[in-house]
Chain A
Amino acid sequence: MPKSFSDLMREARSQIREVNTAEAVDLVASGARLIDVRESSEWEEGHIPGAVHIGRSYLEQQIEGAVADRETPVVLYCAGGVRSLFSAQVLAEMGYTNLASMKGGFQAWKSEGRDWTKPVVLSKEQKTRYSRHLLIPEVGAEGQARLLGSKALFIGAGGLGSPALLYLAAAGVGTLGIVDFDVVDLSNLQRQIVHTTDRVGRKKVESAAETVRALNPDVTVVPHEEMLTEANVERLIAGYDVILDGTDTFETRYTLNDAAVRAGIPVVHASVFRFEGQLTVFIPNEGPCYRCLYPSPPPPELAPGCSVAGVLGVVPGTMGLLQATEALKVLLGIGDTLSGRLLIYDALDATFSELRLRRDPHCPACGDGAPVASGSGVFTLKGGFGTSTGANA
């Protein structure tokens, strides 16, 4: 005996409990999972916050991944309440015991003036480009959209900055600022892989921007072709969500630290020396800052830069990539960052070790007493300190 649509509806209604929007809200509040069974195109036009999207055509395949326990209460909705009813029948057949279908669906929800959100929609090309991110629950479309809307600032497009620039560009961090006043030197190319042989003599910010653009047109590069100083630091870092410190001088590192603490911007910090690297994350008001770790800089003879002491080219590569990883975690708000921990990498021993860092209550930059006012001269620099950030740094 063939069944009509109304036969099927009657049958479904006799098997599945229907709830109104208010009842659905109560069920979700007491632990029910809310599943949106509409098409992707409908979901993208707007959905109930906290809902999980499993299109009706993928329901049988994907429901066990989303709701493993068949006793879990599940509320389904679609646009008007029909597809969700039939979807609930399928789940009942699969053994789900606590099912409800929301009457009136998303249309009723919206017309009642209830809260809904519109997900950021990635283009078809972006869905392909970032597909491996979209597959990770911790990133997903929302995280990817967040990255595309994020701004990271690189202090230096050198040994540490090069690999981090490449990977943050590849990851789709939408705006990458680069502070560097240098030009590409042949001796840079042993490690500064964002530059190329045919760009020797050209500005590093230009060279890096060219590489980034070729890798990912989603990314906007903001070149700051100047040296970071007390005078311009506030302007340079304004508006960025995270800063990757890859400079070669203590002067720049302290200047950056103090300004970042004042502006409340996290700094992912790394430094390298020959076969060794140090890495940590300074999150203002949460963890220690650079001055908490090193209250004062060493004298120049104890602090040779890479241009004097040398460095195994891959070591800034390793550390720069770890910086990029921490920066992505900061931007996405996932995992535990290295805030309060110093990671030491010894390439010769092939060991990573970790030291606990403490916030110094007397720290002149972030301590209880005295936030460093701009230009207060807490850290005053004598000429010739450290190494130059010149072409061969």
Chain B
Amino acid sequence: MSTIRIPPVLRTAAGGSKTVEVAGATVGEAIAALVAQHPALRDQVLAADGSLNRFVNVYVNGKDVRYEQELATPVGPTDTIILLPAMAGGR
């Protein structure tokens, strides 16, 4: 099981969880497992065609999957996946 860190903006849709344990050998499988547990997250993370939304960055162990193999990026059982949507707040 790898760990997905849920950013504060998305926590409401994840039932308030800060981290979610998921099974899956790739980022795609892990995210599929995540949205299966928390369906409200689907539209926030994935586009209609099933690709990652462009405003959410996904990092595996600190590396941006855009520069790895996107959803096919492999994840190991001890890996941490970080979802990072843009935040604007500053005032």
Q: Chain A residues in contact with chain B, CB under 8 A?
A: 156, 158-161, 188, 192, 245-250, 253, 270-276, 278, 293-299, 302-307, 309, 311, 316, 342, 344, 354-358, 360, 386-387, 389, 393
- From known contacts A276-B7, A296-B55, A356-B62, infer whether A302 and B44 are also in contact, taking CB-CB under 8 Å: yes
Q: Chain B residues in contact with chain A, CB under 8 A?
A: 7-10, 44, 53-57, 59, 62-64, 66-67, 82, 84-91
Nearest CB of chain A from residue B44's CB, rounded to whole Å: 6
CA distance A255 to B86 in the complex (A): 15
CA distance A309 to B10 in the complex (A): 12
User: In the complex, what residues of B have CB within 8 A of residue A302's CB?
Assistant: 9-10, 44, 55, 85
Contact between B64 and A358, CB atoms less than 8 A apart: yes
Select which of B8, B64, B88 is within 8 A of A276 by beta carbon.
B8
CA distance A273 to B85 in the complex (A): 11
27 CB-based A-B contacts, threshold 8 Å: A156-B91, A188-B91, A247-B90, A248-B89, A249-B88, A271-B87, A273-B8, A276-B8, A294-B55, A295-B55, A298-B56, A303-B85, A303-B86, A303-B87, A304-B9, A304-B89, A306-B91, A309-B9, A309-B89, A316-B89, A316-B90, A344-B84, A355-B59, A355-B62, A356-B63, A357-B64, A358-B64
Contact between A275 and B8, CB atoms less than 8 A apart: yes
User: In the complex, what residues of B have CB within 8 A of residue A271's CB?
Assistant: 86-90
Select which of A248, A295, A299, A356 is within 8 A of B88 by beta carbon.
A248
- Considering only CB atoms, which chain B residue lies closest to A191 in the complex? B91
Nearest CB of chain B from residue A254's CB, rounded to whole Å: 10
Contact between B86 and A250, CB atoms less than 8 A apart: yes
Nearest CB of chain B from residue A298's CB, rounded to whole Å: 4
User: In the complex, what residues of A have CB within 8 A of residue B62's CB?
Assistant: 354-356
CA distance A161 to B64 in the complex (A): 29
User: In the complex, what residues of B have CB within 8 A of residue A156's CB?
Assistant: 90-91
- Considering only CB atoms, which chain A residue lies closest to B82 in the complex? A355
Given contacts A271-B86, A278-B87, 15 further A-B contacts (CB under 8 A): A158-B90, A158-B91, A160-B90, A160-B91, A161-B91, A270-B90, A274-B8, A276-B8, A294-B57, A298-B56, A299-B55, A306-B91, A307-B91, A360-B66, A393-B91
Nearest CB of chain B from residue A364's CB, rounded to whole Å: 12
CA distance A342 to B8 in the complex (A): 16
Contact between A250 and B91, CB atoms less than 8 A apart: no
CA distance A341 to B11 in the complex (A): 24
Contact between A356 and B86, CB atoms less than 8 A apart: no
CA distance A285 to B7 in the complex (A): 30
User: In the complex, what residues of B have CB within 8 A of residue A309's CB?
Assistant: 9, 89
Select which of B63, B84, B88 is within 8 A of A386 by beta carbon.
B88
Contact between A159 and B64, CB atoms less than 8 A apart: no
Contact between A247 and B84, CB atoms less than 8 A apart: no
Contact between A305 and B84, CB atoms less than 8 A apart: no
User: In the complex, what residues of B have CB within 8 A of residue A192's CB?
Assistant: 91
Contact between B88 and A303, CB atoms less than 8 A apart: yes
CA distance A156 to B82 in the complex (A): 29
CA distance A311 to B37 in the complex (A): 28
